[in-house]
Amino acid sequence: MASTTTLTVDQANARLHELTVIDVRTPGEYASGHLPGAHNIPLDRLDAALPALKTAAGRGDLLMVCASGARSAQACRRLADQGVTAAALTGGTTAWAQLGHDIHRPAGTRTVWAMDRQVRLAAGSLVLAGLIAGRRWNAARRLSAGVAGGLVLSALTDTCGMARLLGKLPYNQPRATDLDDTLAALAG
Q: What is the CATH number of the domain that holds 84?
A: 3.40.250.10
Residues 97 and 180 in one domain: yes
- Asked if residue 102 and residue 144 are part of one domain, the reply reads no
- H helices of the chain, where? 9-15, 27-31, 50-59, 70-81, 92-98, 115-134, 141-157, 161-166, 176-187
- Among residues 17, 50, 155, 31, the alpha carbon closest in space to that of 93 is found at 31
Same domain, 72 and 141: no
CB 55 within 8 A of CB 39: no
pLDDT at 109: 61
pLDDT score recorded for residue 169: 82
Domain count of the chain? 2
Provide the pLDDT for residue 17. Answer: 93
Greatest Cα pair distance in the chain: 62
- Do 139 and 51 share a structural domain? no
The pTM (predicted TM-score) of the whole model is 0.72
Domain match, 30 and 101 both: yes
What's the pLDDT score for residue 105? 82
State residue 108's pLDDT score.
Answer: 63
One domain, residues 97 and 121: no
Count CA atoms closer than 13 A to 89's CA, side-chain side. Answer: 31
- Under-50 pLDDT residues of the chain: none
Indicate whether 134 and 68 sit together in one domain: no
- Cα-based distances in Å from 95 to 1, 61, 62, 66, 103: 29, 21, 19, 10, 11
Rounded CA-CA distance 129/111 in Å is 27
